[in-house]
Structure 1
Amino acid sequence: LSTQNLDTQSADFHFQRTACSYASWIKTISSLAKDFLGPSPTEQWHCPDIIDLPLLSSFSNADGSLQPHKLISPHVKTQHPESTLVRFLFRLQNPPTSVTSEWAKIVAASVELMSENLYKPPPPITSADDDEITQGVQVLQYLDQLKNLSSTFETSTEDSTGTESQAIQRSHSVDVLHEFRNVIIDVFMGYIIFQTHALSKQPLTGAQRKNLSRATQSSSSNAATNSSVATTDKPTTQISRTKDSSTKQLQSIQSRQNFQPLIYYLVGGVRGLFIASRNHQNAPVSECISFIQAISIISQKSAANRTPEEPIWKNLSAYIVKLFEPAFQSPNKIVSLPKPPTRNELAQAITVDFLNHWRDKQPSSPFLIPHSSRQITEK
């Protein structure tokens, strides 16, 4: 995992205000998904010398040319032995449209939240050769820009009566950042679950439980004649009951846990967090373990050069690694998350990474930020 330094103070981003609807802005950001969410050769799953990437891509069967016996479904689990591997890899290689839309909303909410800090138009340079009216207008135009520093969206002239339009407008809030924050917490929860199992003793078998129960009952029957035994066995029994209760609670938490964010983060970095399924039922723990084991074997045998660096999401990666660092530095001790991720800090890292990459790809084009009367505020 990359530990590149945070660069949240990057300045001189080229902004420009424009009048457009939220839906239009989302479409504009979504159109950039190929550049921002496309697979990178630095990712740990990218082993083209072992994984047939063109064949994997062809499983979409967009033109219907593949016969059923040559096709491994990239969307539905089948009896094929490589079904799990294909489904997980295909999502990493070809993020679904729904992922693109959610990613665009996260970027939009982040830029919206941070725009007041980042959008700082330079003051006008007045010329002594200009008359006072020209100079006054230049200053007034600049001051008028300052009044719009809190990016808001102009009331759309588009038809917003449709259900789809209303839904997409309602979704524009810091709620999408809260959901992404929960995805990051899911990564840590998955890690803690695996760590807990790794550090714990093997659970007792049925026969061992029966033997322990008989031993406990035997000790209890001798309590009247040997009080010291009763005193010793009482806390032992209580510890056993507490452990049984904790085991059941762990099983309950584990049954609801989404492990795909953790697995995708390990093999795909920050991009994996954006494209991981939000539904734990789509990626059971058994499939996640099967996939990561397969990738571990593949990566060990691959000669492809894969440097674990974030090509785009550098600040976000460094921020997440910093959050997880205390736990990663104590593999033999279960450590809680000392500081949970916040929406403001996530928004700052996402915005800077997005705009840095935008500037690299579009050096002469400003990033357009809409105006409006609806602001996003911290809840």
Structure 2
Amino acid sequence: MHTITSLADQFLSHSDHEQWYCLDLVNFQLLTSFANKDNKLRPGTFIPTGAKTQHPKSTLVRFLFRLLNSPQHVHTEWARLIAASVELMADNILKPAQVDSTCETDHINQGVEALSYLDAVKNSTSSFDPPPQANESSSQPPERFHSVDVLHEFRKIILDVLMAYIIFQTHHLSDAPMTEAKKKAKTRANRAPSANSSVCQVEKNPAELANTFEEASQNLQRYQRKQNFQPLVYFVLGGVRGLFITSRDHWTAGVSGCMSMIQAMAIITANSKIPHPPDEPIWKNLLAYLVRIFSPVFQSSGQICSLASVQVPTRMELAQAITNDFLNHWKTFNPTSSFLLPHTSGEIEEC
């Protein structure tokens, strides 16, 4: 762990190609000075980097500062993820039942079903390994369940990207919520007798449809309130590195703050003259894997992605991609010895 942690700066340093790094429009030197407790800035010009304030640029400062200077505890979490990946290579054995959403026709119900499925995956148990057999040799090292937990937590961050996108997409595709006046008018219209009532007996009546829509809307709001939107924003702005350094606290990365950040960065990148060609210098295998996971959802622009097309990341595949990328970049440091897996006698073999 100590060896991996010591490499965090090299592996987690930002790239000039990341979309948020607009040197011509953002004063990063001033941004860095905000974190200096002994700064000499005059009153009114200092914006805290770790706490939200009433300053109009507070959200932008907090998000950009984390992208520029990831917290120290992020380095420890990253090192644990790397150690877990190179140590543990097994596919999870617990998968929630697949749900068919093709029968739903309205966007809100489709969105809620997709969110329900992904939420079940995200909150499934992290102890995927079966209990050890009684006849196992006592000389073997004990199972290291913390490795599974670390990969499970990173897997949840990836699922948060999908869920945040689906929430935004569901709102985009659905009609705006009705006002109280419109709700009352619709209720009165539903109660009025219809000349075709005898023909439509097999269909749901308007009141039932309204109740179904209202319930789906409430479920959507419930998912939205507990959703962490920062992983989606940081992945768009910082790629794989953004997922490593993102906050895992949905209270500090709610929908309003993240939408404010998206709006601000849209203006900044539109006016920046510095090119930001897509490039991933380190985490190439992991990025390719994530693109495969995200593409069905991101490319389903006109409707919520069918659950049959939704792929969820597995522990095995994440571990393989992370291990390959870590070892490939580690070799560029010209190490004098092979990287040894803790508690084993052999070298790590590339997948």
Is TM more than 0.5 here?
Answer: yes
Letter matched to residue 291 of structure 1: M
Letter matched to residue 270 of structure 2: Q
1:67-105 deviations in Å (ceiling 9; x for gaps): 553311000111111000000000111111111111100
CA contact 2:164–2:227 (8 Å) conserved in 1 = yes
Paired with 1:95 and 1:153, the residues of 2 have a C-alpha distance of 38
CA contact 2:19–2:238 (8 Å) conserved in 1 = yes
Q: Paired residue for 2:65?
A: 90
Q: Paired residue for 1:210?
A: 184
Find 2:291's aligned residue among 321, 334, 344.
Answer: 321
2:250 is the counterpart of 1:280: yes
Q: Which protein has the bigger helix share?
A: 1
* CA RMSD after TM alignment: 2.6
Paired with 1:84 and 1:38, the residues of 2 have a C-alpha distance of 22
CA contact 1:154–1:370 (8 Å) conserved in 2 = no
Closer, same or farther: CA 272–226 of 1 in aligned 2, 3 Å: closer
Taking the TM superposition and a 5 Å limit, the aligned residue runs for 1:97-246 are: 97-114=72-89, 172-217=146-191, 219=192, 222=193, 227-228=197-198, 231=201, 235-246=205-216
Any stretches of 5+ residues in structure 2 without a counterpart?
A: 91-138, 346-351
Letter matched to residue 98 of structure 1: H
Taking the TM superposition and a 5 Å limit, the aligned residue runs for 1:302-321 are: 302-321=272-291
TM norm structure 1? 0.72
Aligned partner of residue 42 in structure 1, secondary structure: coil
**Deviation of the 1:339 alpha carbon:** 2.3
CA contact 2:82–2:323 (8 Å) conserved in 1 = yes
Q: Paired residue for 2:126?
A: none
CA contact 1:92–1:268 (8 Å) conserved in 2 = yes
**Deviation of the 1:363 alpha carbon:** 4.9
The higher relative CO (CA closer than 8 Å, separation ≥ 6) is in 1
Tell me which moved more, 191-200 or 67-76. Answer: 67-76
1:294-328 deviations in Å (ceiling 9; x for gaps): 00110010011211121111110100100122222
Paired with 1:109 and 1:275, the residues of 2 have a C-alpha distance of 17
Letter matched to residue 353 of structure 1: D
Paired with 1:108 and 1:100, the residues of 2 have a C-alpha distance of 12
Tell me which moved more, 332-341 or 255-264. Answer: 332-341
Paired with 2:303 and 2:214, the residues of 1 have a C-alpha distance of 21
Letter matched to residue 250 of structure 2: H
Aligned partner of residue 326 in structure 1, secondary structure: helix
Aligned partner of residue 304 in structure 1, secondary structure: coil
Closer, same or farther: CA 365–333 of 1 in aligned 2, 3 Å: same
Any stretches of 5+ residues in structure 1 without a counterpart?
A: 1-25, 116-151, 156-168, 374-379
Letter matched to residue 269 of structure 1: G
Find 2:32's aligned residue among 54, 57, 64.
Answer: 57
Paired with 1:94 and 1:203, the residues of 2 have a C-alpha distance of 40
CA contact 1:153–1:370 (8 Å) conserved in 2 = no
Paired with 1:191 and 1:61, the residues of 2 have a C-alpha distance of 35
CA contact 2:87–2:147 (8 Å) conserved in 1 = no
Q: Paired residue for 2:127?
A: none
CA contact 2:31–2:65 (8 Å) conserved in 1 = yes
CA contact 1:111–1:347 (8 Å) conserved in 2 = yes
Q: Paired residue for 1:371?
A: 343
Tell me which moved more, 333-342 or 201-210. Answer: 333-342
1:128-157 deviations in Å (ceiling 9; x for gaps): xxxxxxxxxxxxxxxxxxxxxxxx9989xx
Q: Paired residue for 1:344?
A: 316
**Deviation of the 1:170 alpha carbon:** 7.6
**Deviation of the 1:329 alpha carbon:** 2.5
Q: Paired residue for 1:358?
A: 330
Paired with 1:273 and 1:353, the residues of 2 have a C-alpha distance of 15
Aligned partner of residue 341 in structure 2, secondary structure: strand
Paired with 2:331 and 2:303, the residues of 1 have a C-alpha distance of 43
**Deviation of the 1:236 alpha carbon:** 2.2
**Deviation of the 1:257 alpha carbon:** 0.6
Paired with 2:261 and 2:228, the residues of 1 have a C-alpha distance of 14
Closer, same or farther: CA 64–334 of 1 in aligned 2, 3 Å: same
Tell me which moved more, 61-70 or 106-115. Answer: 61-70
CA contact 2:11–2:282 (8 Å) conserved in 1 = yes
Letter matched to residue 187 of structure 1: V
Paired with 2:197 and 2:45, the residues of 1 have a C-alpha distance of 72
**Deviation of the 1:369 alpha carbon:** 2.9
Tell me which moved more, 324-333 or 242-251. Answer: 324-333
